[in-house]
Structure 1
């Protein structure tokens, strides 16, 4: 991903904790009723089955990633068009709530984005934005979305990292 590499080159001189390539992601939804608590194997298995049924009817798609923008909290890339990811969010949320109940999800729906770095300390976001605009060319790149990954997330606020253990990959459009 050329945009990813160029963004990392531009940001290396700023106090921004860069997201390592294995951890770059677009958050679709989160189970928020049990933060920090284990979810049983039976619940995970039920989630995989329900997600598989629902996502089998969602076709893979190719959104554009970019432009890359500097914000107070870090650096993100827009993902557009919004509709396919919003549809996946709605589908995934319905699957989670079917398995775990209506109070299982509280993740706020936001404009789809891909986080490339987190602000580690104060800096001039305008200066970062100028460097990104001039140094990350082309400003957009296509990305194939053909699956949703169910993961068990670990967030380390001190290190400003989000990592995970992979639970399952649910392909899109896998009608039998």
Structure 2
């Protein structure tokens, strides 16, 4: 496992207030993945993600909160309202845990609703904030990290501990959240301040 927060990997020019759009798991999700996070806690080189900071990234936006005006933040929020109003609430089955190079998490398949939310949100970000900076690559699949690597080391012990852990969980998506994210290398965490929330359409 490698240290995600090493500046050669997390190459954010600022560690605080990075603009993102997230979806946030509910308490049932956190309960479902607890066996995996309990195993992760036994290894000092992987920092477990507390339930309140679990998230699935829709997109990172290549701007920081202090670089854009309040009018732009409001306009993007209004655009997100229009996007989410046109997408019905949906769920994604997640499987894992999967040990990656810099993290441990659960993953799911990107269906039509996720693809629509992702594509329309990224297009809105370029429309509102401009395309002077290219958008970061889109997440390859919906995923929720349960732990982040904080040292460069052999993760064989963690992989062995997780070999019998099966954490099927459901990511229920009822809203999208526009947030300003803080990377905290000393703690091995990502935290955030919520800027606005945007409910998806209610499905009967």
TM-score, normalised via structure 1 length: 0.86
Q: Deviations over 1:20-65 (max 9, x none)?
A: 1111001111220x34634321111101111111221111111012
In the alignment, structure 1 residue 107 sits paired with structure 2 residue 124: no
- Aligned partners of 2:129 and 2:98: how far apart in 1? 36
1:86 to 115, 132, 149: 115
CA contact (8 A) 1:16 1:117 kept: yes
Q: 2:83 touches 2:117 (CA, 8 Å); kept in 1?
A: no
What's the counterpart of residue 49 of structure 2? 19
Task: Please name the residue that 1:143 is paired with.
Answer: 171
Which position in structure 2 is the counterpart of 1:173? 201
Which whole-Å CA distance do the structure 2 matches of 1:170 and 1:123 have between them? 40
Cα distance change of structure 1 residues 157 and 69 upon mapping to structure 2, 3 Å threshold:
same
Indicate conservation of the 8 Å contact 1:68/1:75, yes or no: yes
- Matched residue count: 172
Match of 1:64 in 2: 93
The structure with more strand, counted as a fraction of residues: 2
Q: Does 1:55 align with 2:78?
A: no
How far apart are residue 158 of structure 1 and its match? 3.4
Unaligned runs of 5+ in 1: none
RMSD (Å), alpha carbons: 2.1
Whole-Å separation in 2 of the counterparts to 1:117 and 1:166? 22
User: What TM-score comes out, normalization by structure 2 length?
Assistant: 0.75
Secondary structure at 2:191 match in 1:
strand
Match in the other structure for 1:131: 161
Which segment drifts farther, 35-44 or 139-148?
A: 35-44
Unpaired stretches in structure 2, ≥5 consecutive residues = 1-29
**How far 1:85 moved relative to its partner?**
2.2
Q: How far 1:148 sits from its partner (Å)?
A: 0.3
